[in-house]
Chain A
Amino acid sequence: MRLTSIAPTTTVSPATKPRRLRVALAGNPNCGKTSLFNALTGARQHVANYPGVTVEKRTGTFEIDGEPTDVVDLPGTYGLSAFSPEERVAEEELASGPDVVVVVADSMQLQRNLVLLAQVLIAGANPVLCLNMADEARAAGQKLDLPMMEKLLGIPVVETVASRGQGLPELLAAVRRAAAAPLARHRVVLGEQLDGALAAIAARLPPGPRSGLSREWNALRLLLDDAAVVARLRALPTGEEAITEARRQRMRLETEAGRPVSVFVAERTFGFVDGFLRETRTPPPRIDTRVLSDRLDDVIAHRYLGLPIFGAVLYAIFWLTFTVGEAPMGWIETGIGWLGALVTGFWPHGSDSLLRSLLVDGVIAGVGGVLIFLPNILLLFLGLALLEDSGYMARAAFLTDRVMHRFGLHGKSFLPMMTGFGCSVPGILATRTLENERDRLTTMLVLPLMSCGARLPIWMLLVPAFFPPAWRAPALWIIYAAGVALALLLALLLRRTLLRGEDAPFVMELPPYRMPTLRSVLLKMLDRARLYLSKAGTVILGISILLWAATSSPKPSSYRIDSRVAAGEAVAAADLAAARTAEELEFSVAGRAGRFLEPAFAPLGYDWKMVTAMIGAFAAKEVFVAQMGIVYSIADPEEGTEGLRARIARDYPPLVGVSLILFLLISAPCMATIAVTRRESGRWRWALLQLFGLTGIAWLVSFVVYQVGRLFT
């Protein structure tokens, strides 16, 4: 199950073809692992989710002396204790038995980074130590004795500067060396007491489970009372014996050491690393511990200045995303329009071809619907990559966490939610920066409540139609505020119900500020774009074509307006065409669905015209305006906004307007949002919950508002 896509070739002819080498990258967050992965694989990489969790799985290939090698980038973790999904995934990936595990360590943070190496060693993997950020260490004056390190550990040790691709040939050679002949690795010595306890437990472990990991590692997990390991052992005939032994050893150690066993194990592991570093490292001369980064933080992370600065940064990002993005969006729109006209031109003028309609109104419009978001996404992720690589993102989370935490969210939820005001699609993609699964899902699910840019045309149509001039600005403000309030309340509700559970520990590392490299930023940006196009794009295109079919077929065989013209009524040519289009929509599947669903929406005050327009709005929110135009047979809704507005104001009381606005604000996010939620959460379940949950809430809120409102009018 965990084998990568090359598995078939290896299993088909294991005798003739040597198995492809499998390498895993392990390391703490912020150690430069992603940079290293990108430097190794370039464009030959593939991103997916691990089944059932929002943890990202990156796989790729690179060549060592012309031989293709598979590499998997484990999620960044501080340990392998299997408490978080990331740690579980990392441990499982180790258990699957990669040939070599490259442990990437930040040379400036060796104490903590090497703890992971110790764990990988205990787990019985075949590691290579990659000391990254060698440039920073050199600049700070830290000296490392690499040959001594190799000697003490019995594994290859190399230095790299991943962001600039330095040291890669040496790393590849080291991987090759380790793969060819697993060296005489030295055991991690954790002290007599602990080693003895582990040996005693290991001796009682039944053979079989998790054979990719060493017995010693399994014994250690058992000693630490890992519930999953205990459960797995329970199922085995002699497992109970090992569990009992682990309990005995735990009691003994705790009583002897006078502290909980996990603390004791951690102390021993850090002790091992300390001893190792004492013999191999000359620490930097301590001239100035408060480096530039700290002085920057005195301003950027300041109690009072921090938030205003963050506000300015946010503004800059949105300006970049939505203002700069406007021009290319215009080009794409023009291009799509041009392409549509070109294709239309293949058919004789005025002819009515189903194929033409499918191509132009279905496929080309659908592709346009996908591409139209691309400039936003590219620019937003350019901004986000800059924030992340520079280290600012962690500061932003530090500054906003207090507020967000009140509502069961995380400091890092803030930015994606703000992005949602522009468009939910990049907002949901931006939830990637959240590490904890529950935080990510919560943020993703409530994010569509932030009134997005596509809803603005709807407000522009409806607000002036239903509110007197003096009330328009406050009404608009209330719409946005209601969305935010509801999003926060819903987040709180989700965390109390479906996504209940203890908060993930908020222990966030704040990496030092670094100058982002062009290469890394561009790679991250393109990565996102590719993901959006390949995964969400296909779903969006599919739904567009379905919606096209629903709004354009079947066609009526005769038009009421024609019989009226035949009866001698004078109708202008433009009005005639508009009236026909209106009748076509009414006759189509969408129109019929609108009529069919009318009773369900009658308690909210809507008629079938509104419901039909809403079905169209699922393709993209702003389509609502166009669809209302069609059902009211207004030839050009852009020009006819005034006319349409007047018709709406005449036909519906303001109360219906309020109810309608609320429904459009809360209800069914557009299909692009659903598709992206599906893609990012890894499951249809969450996307459908978002679709039906939000629509249900919208119905309820509108229902209550309309019915209560009626009592007073």
Chain B
Amino acid sequence: MILTSSTAPSLMSEPLEDYLETIYLLVQEHGFARVKDIAKARDVKAATVSIALRKLDEARLVNYVRREYIGLTTKGEEAARRILTRHRLLTRFFEEVLGMPAHAAGEQACAMEHVLTDEAMDRMVRFFEFLGTCPSVLKAFGQCPVGARPGDEHSCGAYSPECARCSLNPKESSMSIASMKPGQSAIVTQITATGALRQRLLDMGILPETAIDVERSGPGGHPLWIRCQGARLALRRAEASNILVRRPA
């Protein structure tokens, strides 16, 4: 998608920006760029390169050192550097913040760098800097179910009362059945376990709003022996502390 309309962020079309970028990199490396090197790097015919070069020359971005040997004007160098900075920044954004694989991040950056306006880019740079100064935000994003990738453990260690997700698992000052004594009864409010344990408890019928009676405990106080939905179940302390309850008043 080549954007040349008025919403286009810069004076150039996408291929021209890419040419400028290529020339910049070649100049950095060799001190000059040749048509055939550019053609090779961009995988196009030399004739195509010549057309592009003519346009860049018209915009006074490049100059010919000698025949075939091309350098950048001050304006050209500045423009190229800006493009490259964007590219690197976007790559890092996709890779480090959004957690995409490196090659995919590079491709995304290539596609996106041409369409961002300077203002959008500036805001993004600032946001990125903010993430750098406050790394816990980035970490929380990776661990929160919202940001985690499938298969990752879905629990962020942090708890924030304003967080919409955290409020699904309120750490209200309720007690777990691990602290109940034989003979006591309670109503399940919440299951804080994750993964296999949560599924197992659910499959056994330990759901919010079901009643649990603690009937007895093993030698030394554990495991706990509870009754739930008519079944007798034994649970270790570790499992029991994942079942939060409220005692009927």
Q: Which residues of A come within 8 Å of B, CB atoms? A: 78-79, 81, 83-84, 108-109, 111-112, 115, 225, 227, 230-231, 243, 247, 251, 254-255, 258-260, 262-263, 266-267, 270, 294, 297, 301-304, 306-307, 394, 397-399, 401-402, 405, 411, 502-512
Contacts and interface: CB of A to CB of B under 8 A. Distances in A.
Q: Which 7 A-B pairs have the closest CB atoms?
A: A266-B202, A83-B196, A79-B203, A78-B203, A227-B151, A510-B232, A230-B150
Contacts of B235: 506-508
B134 to A, nearest CB: 24
B208 interface: yes
Interface string B141-159: 0000110001100100000
A646 B243 CA distance: 65
* Prevailing SS type, chain A contact patch: helix
B181 to A, nearest CB: 12
8 contacts: A263-B208, A270-B207, A398-B234, A401-B234, A506-B223, A509-B232, A509-B233, A510-B233
Interface in B193-218: 195-205, 207-208, 215-218
A267 B230 CA distance: 17
B146 A230 contact: no
Contact of B218 (A84, A243, A402): A402
Given A307-B219, A401-B236, A405-B236, A83 B231 contact: no
B203 A266 contact: yes
Contact of B234 (A78, A251, A306, A394): A394
A106 to B, nearest CB: 9
B238 interface: yes
A115 B203 contact: yes
Given A259-B208, A505-B197, A507-B200, A225 B234 contact: no
B210 to A, nearest CB: 9
A83 B195 contact: yes
Interface residues on B, range: 35 or more
Interface centre among A108, A225, A251, A394 (most CB of B within 10 A): A225
Given A247-B150, A402-B220, A506-B236, 16 more contacts: A78-B200, A81-B199, A84-B196, A109-B230, A111-B205, A112-B229, A225-B150, A231-B151, A259-B208, A262-B199, A266-B207, A394-B234, A398-B234, A402-B223, A505-B196, A506-B223
A708 to B, nearest CB: 37
A225 B151 CA distance: 7
Interface of B: 145-146, 150-151, 154, 164-165, 167-169, 190-191, 195-205, 207-208, 215-220, 222-223, 225, 229-236, 238-239
B231 A509 contact: yes
A510 B232 CA distance: 5
A599 B229 CA distance: 66
B208 A267 contact: yes
A509 B200 CA distance: 12
A432 B168 CA distance: 40
A92 B99 CA distance: 33
Contacts of B203: 78-79, 81, 112, 115, 266
B158 to A, nearest CB: 17
Contacts of B169: 260
A83 B216 contact: no
Contacts of A231: 151
A270 B202 CA distance: 10
A398 B200 contact: no
A225 B150 CA distance: 6
Contacts of B191: 263
A84 B199 CA distance: 11
Contacts of A509: 204, 231-234
Nearest to A267: B207
B168 A258 contact: yes
Contact of A507 (B164, B204, B216): B204
Nearest to A227: B151
Contacts of B167: 258
A23 to B, nearest CB: 24
Contacts of A401: 218, 222-223, 234, 236
Contact of B217 (A227, A267, A303): A303
B196 A263 contact: no
Contact of B230 (A111, A398, A504): A111
Given A111-B229, A112-B231, A303 B219 contact: yes
Contacts of B198: 260, 262-263
A294 B230 CA distance: 12
B118 to A, nearest CB: 31
A255 B164 CA distance: 8
A647 B233 CA distance: 59
A398 B223 contact: yes
Interface centre among B146, B150, B204 (most CB of A within 10 A): B150
Contacts of B200: 78, 83, 505, 507
A78 B167 CA distance: 30
